[in-house]
A and B are shown apart, each in its own frame.
Chain A
Amino acid sequence: MVGLRLVKVSKRAGKRQILKNVSLEIPDKELFVIAGPPGAGRTTLLKIIAGLIAPDEGEVYIGDQMVNTVPPGDRDVGMVFETPPVYPNRTGFQNIAFPLEIRKINDSEIKEQVEEVAEFLQITHLLDRKPATYSGGELQRVALARALVRKPRILLLDEPLKNLDAKIRERTRVELKRLQREFGITMVFSTHDQLEATAVGDRIAVMNEGVIEQIGGPEVVYSSPRTLFVARFIGSPTMNVTECALKQMGDRWILDASGFNVDVTARAHEIESQAMGQELLLGVRPEDIVLLSSPENTGCFEAQVELTQNFGDERVVTIRVGEVSLNCLTGKDRVFAYDEKVYVKFKQEKARVFNRETGIAVARTAG
């Protein structure tokens, strides 16, 4: 049973705190994603797991063993770096064989293992060629083959899809997931692309500025974000966030944002108790906003179209309600013109509330 565990890991570089008290636990055979913007500390975290960087504080456990003092070569960890380590002066075969070469394994065994991995990743045709002729995708695979040839118990991938063309990225994403399932290997995958993160991961750790903001499955980080950052990071187009105030209107409770409001009578109690007198932020996802050409009787607000973007099977319409611009996701059937007047309706139960100061979510709803 080889899982991975990090306990309160911190790392500083000069004056900057790169990782602050990071803890996480990854069970065996899980595809774990570390997602976050560039500069969040993901690469440093991966390198600490690999043993290439030593943490200032905290412990790293692989399986049950604490590996802080174990050198990288003995941790049995494979890593695919952002710039694929494929040496131009060696053929594909020699590149993949490198780790075995270092361990002084005899030639016939090397040949066998390299060919096995190459066949699995469908790069047998690259074995005799030098990397100068490889495409981006092929480079990636050779690097992957090299990491896998030792059959490590943990595989780390640092932005493996970053340098690939958009189309190839989609395909490779699926392949990596399949590979992980078939090999049954514990995989830690780092990316800045939230779509990749939710599509691929069994669980996701959303990181920002050295801190893990939330860990959970794709549905959880999407529907129940713990902080404002997670809410905005996950989901594309990004969630709309505006300032609001909790007000009582007769027997209804609403969150009043400039130009529209959202009925929260059902949750009023929780919100009130947790956010007494504090400044609040309202978050509504573009897909939870409905655009209508004519108003319905309740809960509709007038708005003007600012911009439309064609996403193929969907459209993103930017509208102006009161003083606020909101992005809305709509189907492709209805075409909205620039400056057209429309009516918006919100899916009340999907709205999220955040404390303005701390960014922490208030009153998480069940669905």
Chain B
Amino acid sequence: MPKLVVKNLRKMFGTFEALKDVSFQVEEKETLCLLGPSGCGKTTILRIIAGLEVPTSGEVFLDGVLVNDLPPQRRQIGLVFQDYAIFPHLSVFENIAYGLRVRKMSEAELVKKVRETASLVDVESILDLPSKKLGLSEMQRVAVGRSLALDPKLLLLDEPLSNIDAKARERMRTELGKLQKEIGIATVYVTHDQLEAMTLADRIAVMRNGLIEQIGTASEIYDNARTLFVANFIGSPPMNLMDCEVVYDGNRVILKSGDLALDVTEFAETVRGKGEGEELVLGIRPEDLSLDVQKTNPSAIEAKVQLVEPIGARSIYHLRIGGLTVLAKGYAMPDVNVGSNLWATFNKDKVHLFDKKTEEAVV
């Protein structure tokens, strides 16, 4: 049975419809991420699940039980805030013990429980340290530990990695990932950073304006984006999107966009009938464009380099192809500079086609 079921949630703040109709499920041991830009409603959902907000309509089930009317402290849910909210004047031990003390647990039991939890999140060695002296990753673990001590059914995290600098974020991401694997509790967390979502979640729910546009695993969402918004939001650098139309020239099927013409005859069946004559959008991810200094591939198209952004072993090339600006991600080519000419090959397997708004046709 799924651990958490959210059904048709709707939330109004005055006249503002923060959530329109949200439904999803989280299984035991599964980590679900609510991903979306600021203001899409993801934090509101988290707060409703925690019991800090009341939905205008809709239901929340925990372990099959309706919990809409239960106050937050009775829901057995752990919540970790964006800035961890550790009590600075207490030691690590006391922080984890806090909830247990509130519940008036016996001292002997309490100590045992705190030690157990501490070993789970790997803070045993610093149990007696005052919280002021903790480093970021330790604080994160203590915050998680504090929620876990109460044996919650569900763990909620609000933008766990947003306030940290880039390098530390990398480290914490790996740690959080390992922690999740070890603890194995159903988790829902919220973020606006698509990389965070992809690396930490089993499934991702991409949200916009109070609605979930797509739910799936990271690979599903990345490779088979169902809407324009999802395709654009996931992936860094973002997917190239160009208006185009389908043109039938004898036996050949061509996608035309500006001066760009892409022969997709081999995919004729998949393309046929989809949005003929309608406005379509062609999508291709920067990494699905192969770049070469010479025209080795017959179907390669000429491209002029406008800007180069080196990022380690790779570089992002801003290319001008047929009147459009296209981004490509490839290996760093040291002699390629602004003004150079390159030949770009579109990986046709990876071309996405979207109706001007909504769905896609080709993978």
A and B touch in the complex (CB under 8 A): yes
Which A positions have Cβ atoms within 8 angstroms of B? 37-38, 165-167, 170, 173-174, 177-178, 192-195, 198-200, 218-219, 222, 233-238, 285, 287, 306-307, 309-313, 316, 318, 327, 332, 338
A167 and B166 in contact (CB under 8 A), knowing A222-B313, A287-B313, A312-B198? no
Chain A interface SS verdict (over half):
mixed
**Which residues of B298-355 are within 8 A (CB) of A?**
307, 309-313, 316, 318, 329, 332, 334
Other than the given A222-B310, A313-B222, 4 more pairs (CB < 8 A) read A170-B236, A309-B177, A309-B200, A313-B287
Q: Determine how close the nearest CB of chain B comes to the CB of A199; give it in whole angstroms.
A: 4
Q: Is the CB of A238 within 8 A of B329?
A: no
Do residues A37 and B165 form an inter-chain contact, with CB atoms below 8 A?
yes
B-chain residues with CB within 8 Å of residue A287 when the two chains form the complex: 312-313
Q: Are A198 and B218 in contact (CB under 8 A)?
A: no
Q: CB < 8 Å: which of A167, A173, A194, A313 contacts B167?
A: A194
* Residues of chain B whose beta carbon lies under 8 Å from any beta carbon of chain A: 37-38, 165-167, 170-171, 173-174, 177-178, 181, 192-195, 198-200, 218-219, 222, 233-238, 285, 287, 307, 309-313, 316, 318, 329, 332, 334
In contact, A312 and B222 (Cβ under 8 angstroms)? yes
B134 to chain A, nearest CB (A): 17
Interface pair A199/B234, CB less than 8 Å apart:
no
Given the complex, which residues of A lie within 8 Å of B195, measured CB to CB?
A: 166, 311-312
Complex interface: chain A residues within 8 A of B170 (CB): 236-238
Task: Give every chain B residue within 8 A of A332 (Cβ-Cβ).
Answer: 219
Partner of B309, one of A200, A233, A312: A200
15 residue pairs A–B, Cβ–Cβ below 8 Å: A37-B167, A167-B194, A170-B236, A170-B237, A170-B238, A173-B309, A177-B309, A194-B166, A198-B309, A198-B310, A199-B310, A219-B332, A236-B170, A312-B236, A338-B181
Most chain A beta carbons < 10 A, residue from B174, B177, B287, B312 = B312
Pick from B165, B236, B307: contact of A166, CB under 8 Å = B236
Q: Which residues of the other chain, B, contact A37 by a CB distance below 8 angstroms?
A: 165, 167
Closest Cβ of chain B to A268, distance in Å, is: 26
Question: Separation in Å of the B213 CB from the closest CB of chain A?
Answer: 15
Question: Does B310 lie within 8 Å of A233, measured CB to CB?
Answer: no
Evaluate contact between A310 and B219: CB separation under 8 angstroms.
Answer: yes
Tell me the complex Cα distance, A291–B307, Å.
Answer: 33
Contacting pair B166 A192 (CB below 8 A): yes
Give every chain A residue within 8 A of B193 (Cβ-Cβ): 166
Residues on B with C-beta less than 8 A from A316 are: 199
Sorted nearest first, the 3 A-B pairs with minimum C-beta distance are A199-B309, A309-B199, A218-B310
Please state if B316 and A199 are interface contacts (CB–CB under 8 Å): yes
Chain A residues contacting B181 (CB-CB under 8 Å) are: 307, 338
